[in-house]
Amino acid sequence: LGSNIPMAKHAHTKLEIVFFIYLWSIDPEAVKIAMSCFALFAYEADIRFGFDEIAVLTLLPNYNIYMELSAASTTLVTTGRNALQKKILSILRRIEYATPGNKQAWYDTFVSQQNLAKFLAIYPKRVDDLSSGGSTATSPSVSASETSGFVGSGYGKFGKRRTGVHSSEHDIEDVFHEWANMTGFLCALGSVWLPVKNRPGQHGIPADTRRISMEPVSSDLHYCPVTQFIGDCLKYLVCHNEKFGLQIQRHIQDILGHELNPLCYPILFDQIKIQVDKFFDSTGQVICSEQNTQFIDNVIVIMRSVFEMKAQQVAQNSLEGPTTATKSSSNTLGVPNNNPGPSSSVSNTSNDPSSNSTSVTGRGGPQQINENPLANVNSLEQLVLNIVRYARQLDTSVGTVAIRIRVCQLVESMMKRRDDLSFRQEIKFRNKLVEYLTDWIMGNSHQFNQVHALGQSAAGVGVGSGVNVTTSQLVVDQYQHLTRELDQASMEAVATLLHSLPLQPEESDRGDLMEAKSQLFLKYFTLFMNFLMIVVFVVID
């Protein structure tokens, strides 16, 4: 009685916001209590509607996920902080329905995460210095104008508490861990802010209810804060803060590559393409710089992680097995033990998070969601080609060879997910990649007659002293080893590109189609034979 009045609905939303926000706390006990409290929503729904599943799901569309969160709070008693967060993120990625509570929790966390990211990027400057217009030249990613927004928005209280004169290194580390938890939370739950057409099928919820719960908080239907969040994260891939720069880069790599909600993959690839396109001028010439190269190297790691998530998830599921959440657990913190409601179980049998295939058993019966977000990535071909073009223009160095190896590994991982991807001009795209990558196999870019000059340059002077000779030789040996790895990585990538690829020459070569096909086949055959001869010589030596 009275549960439908605005005040009751408002209280329900407020509780949902609080429980979600506490999931990224750096206090494990607070996190577990918040997880257990999600079962209270299910308990309330069962009391109000009993066995009327439609009514229960109307009130609580994420019923099964909330029960799994609650059950996980008791099964992860001795789990470390990082493992606990990873478990939470794996559950949040399966949330299917947007509600006013989880959307507002996401947005509030986004605002706080932006403030913390800017603070970490300019640390150890004090927040008080920012209000006086101090320079932020220590970080190329953050300007003084950007910091002005969070100095006067209540963030000063946080700065005085955490970064005052008496703050310790431990406090600053807590700030970083809190930012890391926020970032993971935003990645995993980002799908709740996507437009309805980009979300998975709505199972078991009446159409009218879905439409109401999916209405965006903002009146601007064209604005998606997830896009801004992912774009901001990518900018911090080149954060050069002395204390946290490297940690921020590595964490962004891991979070975007492994914890991002698969429904956000199209946004991720679009944002990467926007940044990579800036590395080419109006004539298509590459603009090489240390910062651009660092960004390219980092996004290669992220993209490869996304493509390889399928195999990683298969291995993880085989070790963990299905997860079962039972509502009537007597050990759940904050939940009455005499819960008379029916039990509910949730099991995730997905082998691939990027396919978003989840089997759910509980309220509403078995539900199977089959989505392939990677198929919605439209900018992949041009993005990959631009990354390869950039790597081709880098100067000869040990670091360049290592980047090219990772480019080849990226191409190989992409082609292994070929059935999950959508290409506009697949044959032309693959032929162009083959043309680019074969240049790295025994090509002029890493001929061994350049190695000695490279080694002497790395040593700093000529080979006049014993120390420099040793240093030079180490560089030469490392370079030779990497070039062999590049040969192998290039061949493996080319092999995946050529697999089942029709012989289709360029448009300009179609005067005599059969002759053009013969020449193309001869080119590839000669390449493989030459490479085999080199391998034989190496084995003999």
Residue 121 covered by a domain: yes
Q: How confident is the model at residue 538 (pLDDT cuts 50, 70, 90)?
A: low
Final residue before a domain boundary, out of 327, 358, 375:
375
Residue 392 has pLDDT above 80, yes or no: yes
Instruction: Say yes or no: 399 and 307 in one domain.
Output: no
Residue 425 covered by a domain: yes
Q: How confident is the model at residue 134 (pLDDT cuts 50, 70, 90)?
A: very low
336 and 319 Cβ atoms separated by less than 8 Å: no
Q: Domain tally for the chain?
A: 3
Write the pLDDT tens digit of every residue in 425-478. 999 999 999 989 988 886 644 444 455 455 555 544 444 444 455 667 777 778
Instruction: Say yes or no: 328 and 233 in one domain.
Output: yes
Residue 5 has pLDDT above 80, yes or no: no
Q: How confident is the model at residue 268 (pLDDT cuts 50, 70, 90)?
A: very high
Per cent of the chain over pLDDT 70 is: 67
Instruction: Say yes or no: 141 and 234 in one domain.
Output: yes
Least confidently predicted of 218-227, 230-239, 520-529? 218-227
Write the pLDDT tens digit of every residue in 315-345. 555 445 444 444 333 333 334 343 433 344 3
Compute the half-sphere exposure of residue 238: CA atoms within 13 Å on the CB side of its CA: 16
What per-residue confidence (pLDDT) applies to 300? 98
Instruction: Say yes or no: 126 and 152 in one domain.
Output: yes
d(CA 295, CA 299): 6
What per-residue confidence (pLDDT) applies to 440? 87
Q: How confident is the model at residue 175 (pLDDT cuts 50, 70, 90)?
A: very high
Alpha-carbon Rg for the chain in angstroms: 27
Instruction: Say yes or no: 135 and 226 in one domain.
Output: yes
Exposed / middle / buried, residue 226 (Cβ in 10 Å: 0-12, 13-18, 19+)? buried
Q: Please report, to the nearest 10 degrees, the dihedral formed by the alpha carbons of residues 222, 385, 186, 252 taken in order.
A: -150
Q: Which structural domain range is residue 463 located in?
A: 378-502
Mean pLDDT of the chain: 76
Instruction: Say yes or no: 156 and 178 in one domain.
Output: yes
| 359: three-class secondary structure by DSSP | strand
Average pLDDT over residues 266-286: 95
Give the residue, 361 or 174, on which the prediction is more confident: 174
Instruction: Say yes or no: 241 and 312 in one domain.
Output: yes
Q: How confident is the model at residue 497 (pLDDT cuts 50, 70, 90)?
A: very high
271 and 231 Cβ atoms separated by less than 8 Å: yes
Residue 395 covered by a domain: yes
Instruction: Say yes or no: 96 and 230 in one domain.
Output: yes
Residue 361 has pLDDT above 90, yes or no: no
Residue 500 has pLDDT above 50, yes or no: yes
Instruction: State the residue for tokens 């930012």.
Output: 179
Instruction: Say yes or no: 24 and 50 in one domain.
Output: yes
d(CA 455, CA 457): 5
Instruction: Say yes or no: 321 and 405 in one domain.
Output: no
Final residue before a domain boundary, out of 375, 392, 410:
375
Cα dihedral 45, 48, 51, 54 sign:
negative
Q: How confident is the model at residue 138 (pLDDT cuts 50, 70, 90)?
A: very low
Instruction: Say yes or no: 71 and 88 in one domain.
Output: yes
Instruction: Say yes or no: 388 and 402 in one domain.
Output: yes
Residue 1 covered by a domain: no
Q: Which of 221-230, 356-365, 444-453, 458-467 has the highest mean pLDDT?
A: 221-230
d(CA 490, CA 405): 7
* Token pair for 469: 């000779």
What per-residue confidence (pLDDT) applies to 333? 38
Write the pLDDT tens digit of every residue in 57-108. 777 899 999 999 999 998 876 678 889 999 999 999 999 899 999 999 999 9
Residue 265 has pLDDT above 90, yes or no: yes
